[in-house]
Every structure is written in structure tokens, then in C-alpha cells.
Chains A and B, each alone.
Chain A
């Protein structure tokens, strides 16, 4: 992995799109890229949208009562700098990427539910990199108040034919008592994009945080390691990731759960495929209270070259914690291929059927059209695998 020099990227100036009141006005190529990240430009069955291109917001709208969606800059003004939230889950001085986001904030979304509001339809967001060699600093804050429910689908995407771009994103999550946040992130970068999200969150008593992550397209260099603290009794966190690294991709991705209260549960499930690229699949569950349960499962397949480095970590700090993990890096079992061949599938059909099952996103509970887009992308990316 080469060191990233932020000076290579343009973090200020350059062309800036104005407000786009109707997302259908976006140009066709950008629309196609956004669609792959789960953005519905018709805004059908969506509770609202936040869309940012390069350094600024172009669209921000809540379509349902009970959920507030603002540009983070407006939210900071409206709520006096968001004390108790802004920069509480991620350390501003962690590294040059957090510092860049702190010093020169371009935007990002602020999403907050009202207490008790169950928002049935997902809020969608897209952070889009359009210009060549653009550097984007965003900071997102999501607050799910007590007893409310929210699903955010956020796509990060880059314009077709991009020669290079950097995305630095801070995200902070706050899940209240008996609240539920499902956060689905679909990354859709290019082989020249560098990506440094920094994410942290906290879940209160009885709260549930579900994080889905899908990365199927090439990316030059990505490092992501969201950390969630379960601080209230009975809180639950689950991370599901599906990652493919084709040739040229370097992906260092993992998640961290701290079980800090009794009756908390954490689960990390990742499915990775290296098809020429490199994946570091991390996972950490810390048991600091009892009773608490954590399970970590990282499974990787190497199909057509590449490296998968699985680093599952468990840290128990109390009598009575229950933490377990299973990790596997390997190939498709010959037995499974032959089983399907005995049903009349040729070797390629059998292999692709098994890979599609391995990269199964059913567990994520996504809207159908998004699931279809993901499955189509998986079929296309299989061409490079075998």
C-alpha cells in the first residue's frame, strides 16, 4: 500500500454544482452510478434524501414527518454546534484524515428521528465524487431518539471515468433507548479512488444497531473500521459485510464492538472474495460486562489470485463473557461443486451459484430494487473471478 498524500487532491475551489431540486435532472451517467449505490432518483419509497457532489450539498429533503434531514453545516448552526454529539465518537486528532475533515468541512448529513417515530421507508444519501482529483471531507451525524426506528441507505460513488479522488468521511451514530438504526452503506468507487471513513457510535439500553456494508467494485485504497460501543443494558449490534477485491484493490475493512453493559450482544459477519486484490478482514469484539455474548465470523475465498488476511480478535475482560469466532480463508469446496454438477450444472454454473450464495445479502433486509442491483453487480463481477 502506498502512502496517501492528501496534497495530491483538491480540497477547495473548483466547479460546484448548485441546488438540484429534482434528482431526475442529474446527468444520465451520474444517475447510473448513483443507482448502483442504492439511490432512487424518483425518491419513491424513500423518507428523504441527502445528496452531496464534491464539496457541497445539491439536494436535501425530508419527505416524511418524524425525521429531520439537514446539511451538517446547517445543523451545526441550528443546534449550536451539536454539543454532546459532534466529534464525540471519533477523535478529531486521530490522524491526518480526521484533521482534514475537522479543518475544512465540506458537508455531510445530519439525520435525526423524533422520539418514538418509526420511519418505515429508508432515508437515502449519496456522497458523490465528480471532478478529477477532488478531495471530499464530510461529517455525518445520525441520531435515532428513544423508541424510534430508522433505515439509512447511503451510497458513496464516483463519476464514471474518474482519474482519481479522495473521500474522507466522519460518521457518528447515536442510538437511543429501545431505538433501532439500520445503516446500509454501498461503496461504488473506481480503481483510482482512495477512501478513509472514520466511524464511531454508541447504543443505549435496548437499542439495536445493524450495519450492512457492500463493496463489490474496485477501489484503489480503502480503510474502514467502524467502532460501536454498546453502553446500555440489552443493546445489540450486528455488522454484515460483503466485500470483493478485484486486481488493484486494497481493502482494509473491519468492525469493532465493545460490550460495555449486561445482556449486550454483538455479531460481526463478513464474507470476502479476493479476485486479484488484497483484503484485510478485521473484527474485534470486547466483552467488558456480563452476561454478554459476541460472535465473529469471517469467511474469505480467494478466486483468481490475491490476498486475504483475516484478523479476528476477541478480548474478554470479565468472568463469564461468551465470545467466539470462526474464520476461514480458502477456496470453494470441491464437494459442493460436484454436488451441483450431479444435478446437471456445469462447473462454471456450479461455481457461480456457490459464489452468489456466499455473497448472500438476504440477511440485510434491503428494498427489492436495491437487492436486484446488488445481485446484478455480483453476477457482473464474477467474470473476473474464474
Chain B
């Protein structure tokens, strides 16, 4: 699905990512840990292709295609979708209109999708205008459902979210990552899995709450621009909550 090779990224004069190698397989969910300022968000923003993130070395392959220098919208159209931490408010742009545009002409049930996320009351409001933390996450998820990407990038899906919202958001993230497989009459889940389109995820988390909901396969710690400590995400989380990130320093040296 995604292959990152020796990726070096600069913001202004500062080299933030210093040689990242990462492979995420089809139908795999990868969890990224790391202290504040370690470069996690930079990695996501670089994968999405944002302007301020300058790739000085290395390359990014998405579903076999080199997208290192592709524009943001080309990546989106190829099937990369991102949930923003702090999306901008766009006055006069209704949530409904944006969700429809996300589908790029595919026929989608906006009302139904919004209902699932408890967002139906927001469809006729300006996108992100006065949205709370939980509402922003749900709105981002609604847009991603309409986009239907192959690779989902989540930047701290649990930040600023209360417990009740966390349940809904966690369950929806799981649904989106599983490609909508659920027990259905007439076809087994196993059969569905064989036929379904591949979906992978890359999730940044501090608290690990999201691990309660998604089936995460692998995780790694990003520290000071380097990836280290590959393990089961739960084990990494246990370790960090007990010892902090100090061990990463030793590991890298």
C-alpha cells in the first residue's frame, strides 16, 4: 500500500525527518507513537503533500506509484485520505456541500452517513465553524467516508474528544478501516473480505485510546526524526506509559 524510502524532510531550515523507512501492507493498520515535536505530524503532512514540507531526499510510493512530487489533490484522488487535527473554518461552505464534493461524482447517501456519525444537524452549517473537538473529528470522518480512500491518515483521533464521542469515533474509524465488513445475510464475512478493496491506516496517537477500537497490527516510535522500536502497539504503549520515551534515546544511540 505505502512504501517510504529514506525520507528526509525539511521545514524551513530545520530537518525534521531524517531518513524514514516504512512499509505499510494492504489491510494493515500502523500506529505511530512519539513525543511532541518528534515529527509525527510532519510525516503525515508530507505524505499528503502539503506545501511547507520539503522533501530533500528519499521517495514515497503509494500502491506502486511514485508520489514523492505529486500534488495534494492527485494524492487525494489516488486514494489517500487524511483526518485533520485543526481544520480551517471555511465561511459560506456548507458541510453538506463539502461532503458531496469529497465523493467526486460518486453517488453517496450524505444524510445516511451523517446520521451514522450523529452529524445530520451539522450538514447545513459552515464547515468547522464553531465545531467542538468531537464535532471536528466526526466531520473529518464523514468527509473521509465520502472520499472512500485506500489509505487513511489519522492525526490523534482522540484529542479533544470526550468519552461518549470517543466510542462513536473509535467505532467509525474501525468500520472505515475494515472497509465496511459486517455480518450480512447471504454472504459470509470471509467472502466479503476476499472481495473487498484494500484499506490501510496510519494513526498517530498519544493516549492509545484508539487501540481499544481498532485492530492495529504494528507500531513504531518516531523520535527526533527517526523511527525506532518496532513492536506490537499495545506493548509500545505499556512501555511508554511506564518509562516514557527515554529508552528510545538509548535505542537510537
Contact = CB atoms under 8 A, between A and B. Distances in A.
Interface in B71-105: 71-73, 76-77, 81-82, 84, 87-88, 90-93, 98, 101-102, 104
A341 B48 CA distance: 10
B76 to A, nearest CB: 4
A357 B93 contact: yes
B104 A339 contact: no
A28 interface: no
Contacts of B77: 344
A326 interface: no
Interface stretch (A47-55, A179-187, A330-338): A330-338
Nearest to A359: B92
B88 A358 contact: no
A347 B88 contact: no
Interface residues of A, number: 24
A353 interface: yes
B50 A344 contact: no
B220 interface: no
Interface string B205-237: 000000000000000000000000000000000
B91 A338 contact: no
**What is the interface of chain B mostly: helix, strand, loop, or mixed?**
mixed
Nearest to A343: B102
B73 A336 contact: no
A193 B15 CA distance: 57
A356 interface: yes
A341 B49 CA distance: 10
Contacts of A333: 88
B147 A358 contact: no
B51 interface: yes
Contacts of B92: 356-360, 362
Contacts of B87: 339
A347 B104 CA distance: 15
Interface string A342-376: 11111101100110111110100000000000000
A341 B72 contact: yes
A342 B93 contact: no
Contacts of A350: 73
A342 B101 contact: no
B175 interface: no
A354 B143 contact: no
A374 to B, nearest CB: 13
B88 A339 contact: yes
Contacts of A345: 73, 101
A335 B104 contact: no
B62 to A, nearest CB: 14
Given A336-B88, A358-B92, A360-B91, A344 B76 contact: yes
Given A334-B51, A353-B101, A342 B91 contact: no
Contact of B76 (A343, A357, A358, A359): A343
A344 B77 CA distance: 5
A240 to B, nearest CB: 12
A110 to B, nearest CB: 36
Contact of B101 (A334, A335, A343): A343
Contacts of A356: 92-93
A362 B147 CA distance: 27
15 contacts: A334-B51, A338-B72, A339-B88, A340-B101, A341-B76, A342-B48, A342-B82, A343-B76, A343-B143, A344-B147, A346-B71, A347-B71, A354-B93, A357-B92, A360-B91
Given A357-B93, A358-B92, 8 more contacts: A333-B88, A338-B72, A339-B84, A340-B98, A343-B102, A345-B101, A353-B90, A358-B91
Q: Which 7 A-B pairs have the closest CB atoms?
A: A357-B92, A360-B92, A341-B72, A344-B76, A357-B93, A341-B73, A335-B88
